[in-house]
Structures are given as C-alpha cells and as structure tokens.
Amino acid sequence: MSAARRFEGTVVEVHGMRATVLRHDDGTRVRCRPLRDRTQLAVGDRVEVTDDRHGLEITALAPRERCLWRPVERGRLLMAAHVDRLVVVCAVEPPPRPGLLDRFIIAADAEDIDVVLVLNKVDLPEVDAARELLGPYRAMDYPVLETSAHAGGGVEALRELAREGLTVLAGHSGVGKSSLLNALVPGSALAVGEVNATTGRGRHTTSVTTCQSLGAAWPEGGLLVDTPGVRAFGLYGFELTRIAHGFRDLRPHVGACRFRDCLHEGEPGCGVADAVARGAVAAERHESYLRILGSVRRGEG
Ligand SMILES: Nc1nc2c(ncn2[C@@H]2O[C@H](COP(=O)(O)OP(=O)(O)O)[C@@H](O)[C@H]2O)c(=O)[nH]1
Ligand SMILES: [Mg+2]
Ligand SMILES: [Zn+2]
C-alpha cells in the first residue's frame, strides 16, 4: 500500500462543501473533498490536500488573514481570505457612490488590504463628473486607475497591478467588473450582465465566487476574484470605534478627541467635529461616516 501524498494549494472555487484547489506544485486545478469538520471554505484559503486511495481530501487549513466578508441576514460570511488587494470598480455610468466606496474601503482597511480604485467606462461622455466624485479619494492618496473594458484603455495597467497575489474586484453591479475580467482573462467567458436577446431578460449571473488565473502559472500569475451579486462587504459586528480608521481623512483628527471611545457624533471635545468646523475635513465625509456608523450600529452590516 502506497503512502498518502500531500500537497499545498489555494482554494479557487467553492461548490457547497467541495472546493477546487490550485496546486502549488504543478499549477493544476483539482476538485477536493471538504475538511472532515466541514469548515466552510472560501476562495484564497490556503490548504493542505491529501491524496490517498479515496481521492483528494482537504486535510488542513492555514490560519486566515486579510479576509473579506459578504453580508448575509444579520451576519456575514467569509468571501475571500489572504486578499492582497481590493480593486473597487466604479464607472462613469452608473456614477460612483461615495457611501458604497467608503464601506468597501473600511472593510479593506480593517484587514490591511491595499485599495485601488478603478474608474471604468471612461469612453463615455460624462467622464468629468465621475472624476470629480473621485476627487476626495485621489486627495487621500488612493490610486485611481481609469479603464475602458470596451476600448481597452487601462486594461494593461490593471493587469500589471494584479500580476501577483490575490486581487478581489468589487463594485456596484453594472460598473463592468465582469467585462474587465473578460478583457484581462480572454476566454474566461464570465457572464456580462447584458440583456439576453432571445429571452429579453438579464443573463443569470452566478453567485459562486471564482478565481481566474492571470497569465503564468502559480506563483507568478496573479489570481483575480469577481464578486457577482456582492453589493457591499459585511461590516456586521464591526467595532464601532474602528470605523473612523477607514476614513483616511478623518483618522488624523481622532487623536484629538477628548474621549478615547469617541464616535464623533456630537460628543464634547471631538477632534473630528472640530476639524469639520475648521474646514479641514469636508462635511460630506463626516456625514458619510455617520451614515455608516448608524447602519453598523443598527446591525444592518
Ligand atoms: N461604455 C462602456 N460600457 C461598458 C464598459 N465595461 C462594461 N460595460 C457595459 O456595462 C454593462 C455591465 O457590465 P458588467 O461587466 O456585466 O458589469 P458588472 O455587473 O460589474 O459585472 C454591460 O452592458 C457592459 O457591456 C466600458 O468600458 N465602457
Ligand atoms: Mg458581473
Ligand atoms: Zn471624536
């Protein structure tokens, strides 16, 4: 009887309890049985797989870090682990929604995940208005990459940026995430939300989170994750005092607050309120913060 063989890999697809694992030794993708304790896996999970006479089985899970969560009814579910960067995709149309951007950024900030903003559809005429909406984020030193999945502009820069590690694409539906993925990974045949000519209905976009390999085999080629149907990241149970940390422009003023657990919503001696009063921070930024604080407090995630 031959001894069981083991190899390491990264989860690139989850189907219920089963997972597809990208082998680190030969770069192939293999279907595996779940962990015995039936821990729910997520893309990006680092696992050990044992190959015995019963087939491939995931036998160990590395400690998770740099996680992103998807919101579910009064809770959150792990969506991806070991995320190296979050690419928040916005578009000229539908225009950027700062509240949504801020939520994505807070989730990434809390896990030390780098954030890059992409403004897609710059081939459309209303591009200047969209650029203006992203002005505050440029001022906070978030890189903003302009792309057109249709005309091809900026796609190579995005490919370069995602060349290593695990990159998650997120953004409002309709901004062009799947289109960008298709431009980056030709033939990946991901569903683009166009209306189906024969049925007249939007094409069904799967909610299975999958990773596409970019170019060369692991570990050279980056992995790219689309997040179909994810409208926001789960902030359920998020520590309220940490929310302001995700606002790069509010963060420097938090230290001036009289109370260490100040939530910057009218407490006396609040450094953030003072910064807004002095015009050092835009009132809309503080308002966005207060809206998110309110929704997390209400348990809306
Ligand atoms: N004009 C223009 N339209 C785009 C561009 N990228 C995507 N679209 C269109 O925007 C719609 C939504 O694209 P999709 O990739 O499904 O967006 P997703 O929901 O973020 O995955 C589709 O009709 C695309 O053809 C672009 O760069 N320019
Ligand atoms: Mg899509
Ligand atoms: Zn304060």
Q: Where are the domains of the chain?
A: 5-61, 81-225, 240-297
> What SS3 string covers the chain?
CCCCEEEEEEEEEEECCEEEEEECCCCCEEEEECCCCCCCCCECCEEEEEEECCEEEEEEECCCCCCEEEEECCEEEEEECCCCEEEEEEECCCCCCHHHHHHHHHHHHHCCCEEEEEEECCCCCCHHHHHHHCHHHHHCCCCEEECCCCCCCCHHHHHHHCCCCEEEEECCCCCCHHHHHHHHCCCCCCCCCCECCCCCCECCCCCCCEEEECCCCCCCCCEEECCCCCCCCCCCCCCHHHHHHHCCCCHHHHCCCCCCCCCCCCCCCCHHHHHHHHCCCCHHHHHHHHHHHHHHHCCCC
Q: Is the pLDDT of residue 214 over 60?
A: yes
Residues with CB under 5 A from ligand 3 (ion): 257, 262, 264, 270, 272
174 lines ligand 1 (CB under 6 A): yes
Give the ligand 1 atom nearest the CA of 181. Answer: 15
Look at the block and give the residue holding tokens 């939530």.
263
Q: Say how many Å lie between the CA of residue 200 and the centre of ligand 1.
A: 17
Average pLDDT on 8-28 reads: 91
Q: Do 5-61 and 81-225 share a fold?
A: no
- Which residue's CA lies nearest to atom 12 of ligand 1? 174
- Which of the ligands is closest to the CA of residue 206? 2
User: Would you say domain 81-225 falls under CATH 3.40.50.300?
Assistant: yes
d(CA 24, CA 217): 9
Q: Is the pLDDT of residue 3 over 70?
A: no
Choose the residue to mutate in 87, 97, 188, 192 for probing ligand 1, maximizing ligand atoms within 8 Å of C-beta. Answer: 192
123 lines ligand 1 (CB under 6 A): yes
- Which is higher by pLDDT, 178 or 283? 283
Q: Is the pLDDT of residue 215 over 90?
A: no
> pLDDT tens across 233-251, in order?
888 889 999 999 999 999 9
Measured between alpha carbons, how far is residue 163 from residues 18, 70, 212, 219 in Å? 27, 25, 12, 10
Least confident of 3-7, 87-91, 219-223: 219-223
Predicted pLDDT of residue 200: 40
Share of the chain above pLDDT 70, in %: 90
82 lines ligand 1 (CB under 6 A): no
Predicted pLDDT of residue 195: 34
Predicted pLDDT of residue 202: 42
- Please state the CATH superfamily assignment of the domain spanning residues 5-61 in this structure: Nucleic acid-binding proteins (2.40.50.140)
Give the ligand 1 atom nearest the CA of 175. Answer: 20
- Which is higher by pLDDT, 279 or 14? 279
Residues with CB under 5 A from ligand 2 (ion): 177-178, 228
Question: Please, what is the average pLDDT of the chain?
Answer: 89
> pLDDT tens across 169-204, in order?
999 989 999 899 989 987 665 555 433 333 444 444
Q: Is the pLDDT of residue 147 over 90?
A: yes
280 lines ligand 1 (CB under 6 A): no
* Fold assignment, 240-297: Ribonucleotide Reductase Protein R1; domain 1 (1.10.40)
93 lines ligand 1 (CB under 6 A): no
- Which is higher by pLDDT, 53 or 94? 94
- The confidence band for 157, taking pLDDT boundaries of 50, 70 and 90, is very high
> pLDDT tens across 24-62, in order?
998 899 999 999 999 999 999 999 999 988 899 999 999
